[in-house]
Structure 1
Amino acid sequence: MIVKVLWSAGFIIGTATHTLDLINYGWLPYEFRPLPFNIYWTSLTLLDPLAALLIWVRESWGIALGIAIMASNVLVNGYTLLIGYDEFFIPLLMQSAFAAFVFFVAWRHWASDKKYAEDR
Structure 2
Amino acid sequence: MAARIPSVRTRRVIQGVWILGFVFGTSTHVVDLVVSGMDVYAGFPTGVRLFWTSLTVLDAATVALIVVRRRAGVILGVAVILTDIAVNWTLFATRGGLAPFGVVNQALFAAFILATMRVLWTWFERPPPAE
Which TM-score applies when normalising by structure 2? Answer: 0.79
Q: Which residue of 1 aligns with 2:22?
A: 11
Question: Which residue type is aligned with residue 23 of structure 1?
Answer: V
Residue 62 (1) aligns with residue 73 (2)? yes
**What's the offset of the Cα at 1:86?**
5.0
Give, in whole Å, the separation in 2 of the partners of 1:86 and 1:46.
23
Count how many residue pairs are aligned between Structure 1 and Structure 2: 113
Question: Which residue type is aligned with residue 67 of structure 1?
Answer: V
Equivalent residue for 2:114, pick from 76, 95, 103:
103
**What's the offset of the Cα at 1:83?**
1.1
**What's the offset of the Cα at 1:32?**
1.4
Question: Which residue type is aligned with residue 106 of structure 1?
Answer: M
**What's the offset of the Cα at 1:27?**
2.9
Counterparts in 2 of 1:25 and 1:86: CA distance versus 1, 3 Å: closer
Higher helix share: 1
Q: Which residue of 1 aligns with 2:49?
A: 38
Q: Which residue of 1 aligns with 2:84?
A: 73
Q: Which runs of 4+ in 1 moved over 4 A?
A: none
Instruction: Specify which structure has the bigger relative contact order, considering alpha-carbon pairs within 8 angstroms and separated by 6 or more residues.
Output: 2
* DSSP 3-state at the match of 2:99: helix
Question: Which residue type is aligned with residue 46 of structure 2?
Answer: L
Q: CA RMSD in A?
A: 1.8
Give, in whole Å, the separation in 2 of the partners of 1:66 and 1:18.
16
Give, in whole Å, the separation in 2 of the partners of 1:103 and 1:18.
23
Which TM-score applies when normalising by structure 1? Answer: 0.85
**What's the offset of the Cα at 1:85?**
1.0
Kindly indicate whether the alpha-carbon contact (under 8 Å) linking 2:15 and 2:120 is maintained by their aligned counterparts in 1: no
Give, in whole Å, the separation in 2 of the partners of 1:92 and 1:69.
14
Note the alpha carbon deviations across 1:76-96, whole angstroms, 9 max, x for none: 000010113153321110100
List alignment gaps of at least 5 residues for structure 1: none
Give, in whole Å, the separation in 2 of the partners of 1:101 and 1:89.
18
List alignment gaps of at least 5 residues for structure 2: 1-11, 127-131
Identity of aligned residues (%): 31
Kindly indicate whether the alpha-carbon contact (under 8 Å) linking 1:51 and 1:62 is maintained by their aligned counterparts in 2: yes
